[in-house]
Amino acid sequence: YSPLFNFLGSAFIALVDALIKNNYSDIANHIYFNPSLLMKYGRLTSLLVSGLSLFVIYLILNKLRISKIITLNLMISISLSLFFLDISLTNGKNSFFLLFFLLQYYFFLKYFQKIEKFNIKSYFIFGFLAAFSWGINYFCAVVSITSILLLHYKRYKFTNLYYFIYFLILFFLVGF
């Protein structure tokens, strides 16, 4: 799924760029004759997705009720680290890997703190997140699988096991 998401993001940025320059009638030929633009748009997509990942990190830190001073220091140190710079500027799957990993962790924290909100809709959310994560990298889907197992046990114990079927159907149909 990462190449698909990267393509859609690059196409959206190319469309916005063409609308700003009023050159949308010849955008296909413009990119075809100048493929370096596609790399530029792909890098911008990775940068935007990494920025969205920073926002999800902020949401996670707020969910954990971390002090605002520590949150600010963490956000600055993460955004200026060489690791994050490499993820942000490289046109590849790592920025989407980070985003989906953090999204799964955010939803796990959300439902773990308020387990009464964990219902059938949550299985669909984790199913889609796990499927897209599996499409990016197999390891990334482990968070959703583990989250479903832990949250289901915490909320329902050994009842309502048919909810797993909804999760597995989404996971395998969309994931493959």
Residue range 74-121, pLDDT digits in tens: 999 999 998 888 888 887 788 999 999 999 999 999 999 999 999 999
Do 57 and 81 meet the contact criterion of CB atoms below 8 Å apart? no
Q: Which two tokens stand for residue 144?
A: 């959703």
What confidence score (pLDDT) does residue 50 get? 93
Q: Torsions phi, psi of 158, nearest 5?
A: -110, 20
CB 133 within 8 A of CB 99: no
Query: What pLDDT, on a 0 to 100 scale, did the predictor assign at position 28?
Result: 66
Is 103 within 8 Å of 144 (Cβ atoms)? no
Name every residue whose Cβ is closer than 8 Å to that of residue 40 and which is 6 or more positions away in sequence.
none
What is the spatial distance between Cα 122 and Cα 106, in angstroms, rounded to a whole number? Answer: 12
What is the H or E stretch that residue 172 is in?
helix 163-175
36-63 and 82-89 helices, crossing angle to 10°: 130
d(CA 139, CA 162): 25
Predicted confidence at residue 114, as pLDDT, reads 93
Residues in the chain, pLDDT under 70: 23-32
DSSP state of 67: -
